[in-house]
Amino acid sequence: MTVYFKNGDDKQLAEQIALYWKDHRFLTGTAQSIQIERKKQKVYLRLVANEPKGASNLSFVELKKMLELQDDLRELTGRKHLEIVICDKRFETLKNINE
């Protein structure tokens, strides 16, 4: 897994997320990429979808799990404005789970 970030202040956040992924056994044999992006007061956690075609049409159960993940990461990091965004391999937005 690779966590990308542009702002040097996000190094600790990247480490927290990487440890969370490891501790919760989210690491698989497939390459995983995450990008941390800041815009105004929000921190976007941009996750690359393995199957981009289905990313915009999440089932209720999948959306619920993503929202639970977002809540866990907000609590872990202390960032209440953290939002998960599902992206393609170029980090282009496919779905913001909050919209």
The reported pLDDT for the residue numbered 21 is 87
How much is the pTM?
Answer: 0.87
Residues 13 and 36: their CA atoms lie apart, in Å, by: 9
Tokens for 61? 């159960």
Domains of the chain plus CATH, in order, are 2-96 (3.30.300)
pLDDT digits (tens, 9 = 90+) for 17-65: 999 988 988 877 777 899 999 998 899 999 998 877 777 788 899 899 9
